[in-house]
A = this chain, B = another copy of it.
């Protein structure tokens, strides 16, 4: 067992997209654990768009990461020492363990157990992790699809969107994806089995969307806000359910962006629009992960992963999410 703990820490606060030189590597002693804590040996680290917000000047849902802090990150790792009665050496856990080799954690930092599914550990940071859970609860609790419904998904080739569309399709829905570029459109159709997919980079999507949704739109899983959102609303059916999962197309909320008023669409169509956070459903993670794992095993829920090897790849990894270089859920293997 190695006796140092390498950590990636925040060296400078980025103005825009975080780049490699906003971070640095340092070596620290392996932490001691207090009563009730565990020592985790990280195996796989996650790279997430949310990281940009975590280190931005303005706070989000989370406390801001300060200069000098080890970078917050979701990770999957193994318990190598435990002073907590619920967790034993060898348990595989997922939690906020940071971009580092080792983490001394309390049970509050643990999201769920990764072991038991018989599927690769990496999935617990993707399709059996927050991506899959977000898709699961957004579709089942907010979009509430019924067989025969048409469901539209934005960022459809991404980790959340691709799962959301496939889950809706399992329910018997016609699923239409909106993604950026011909390659992602192809993935939606060929890999994720969507009924139709539209390239928003090819121009305004209104006409293509209307053509792809001849029966109107009953459910909308929205990761983007902005022009895509505004193209969907005029096409919703009576009783449509719109899940607000993210606002990726909005680069800044200062000044607050304007858009076509939604109220009349919602009123005339007796439709609902609802924001949700996956963490509000924490009590149901086990149920959801069990269902998702079953669908991965039976082939009805497919996913894409991309691995970087080594902790030294972490500093430059976030920018890959924004320059189109990555292809699938981005992970760093450090075992």
User: Which residues in A have some Cβ–Cβ distance to B below 8 Å?
Assistant: 61, 222, 225, 229, 244-247, 250, 253, 256-277, 280
Contact = CB atoms under 8 A, between A and B. Distances in A.
Contacts of A265: 275
A263 B61 contact: no
Given A250-B261, A260-B256, A273 B267 contact: no
Contacts of A275: 263, 265-272
Given A260-B256, A263-B222, A277 B273 contact: no
Contacts of A256: 260-261
A280 B269 CA distance: 11
Nearest to A229: B263
A260 B229 CA distance: 14
Contacts of A266: 244, 273-275
Q: Kindly report how many copies of this chain are found in the complex they form together.
A: 2
15 contacts: A61-B268, A222-B263, A225-B261, A225-B264, A244-B266, A246-B267, A247-B264, A247-B267, A250-B264, A257-B260, A258-B259, A266-B273, A266-B275, A270-B276, A272-B272
A29 B146 CA distance: 51
Contacts of A270: 274-277, 280
A276 B238 CA distance: 10
A58 to B, nearest CB: 12
A246 B247 CA distance: 26
A161 to B, nearest CB: 16
Query: Which 5 A-B pairs give the minimum distances between C-beta atoms?
Result: A267-B275, A266-B275, A272-B274, A225-B263, A258-B258
A84 to B, nearest CB: 30
Contacts of A246: 267
Interface centre among A246, A271, A273, A275 (most CB of B within 10 A): A275
A204 to B, nearest CB: 15
A126 B190 CA distance: 57
Contact of A260 (B245, B258, B263, B274): B258
B262 A262 contact: yes
Nearest to A280: B270
Interface centre among A225, A258, A267, A270 (most CB of B within 10 A): A267
A112 B260 CA distance: 38
B276 A273 contact: no
A261 B261 CA distance: 8
A274 to B, nearest CB: 4
Given A225-B263, A257-B261, A262-B273, 10 more contacts: A229-B263, A247-B267, A250-B264, A253-B264, A258-B260, A267-B276, A269-B275, A270-B277, A273-B273, A273-B274
Contacts of A260: 256-258
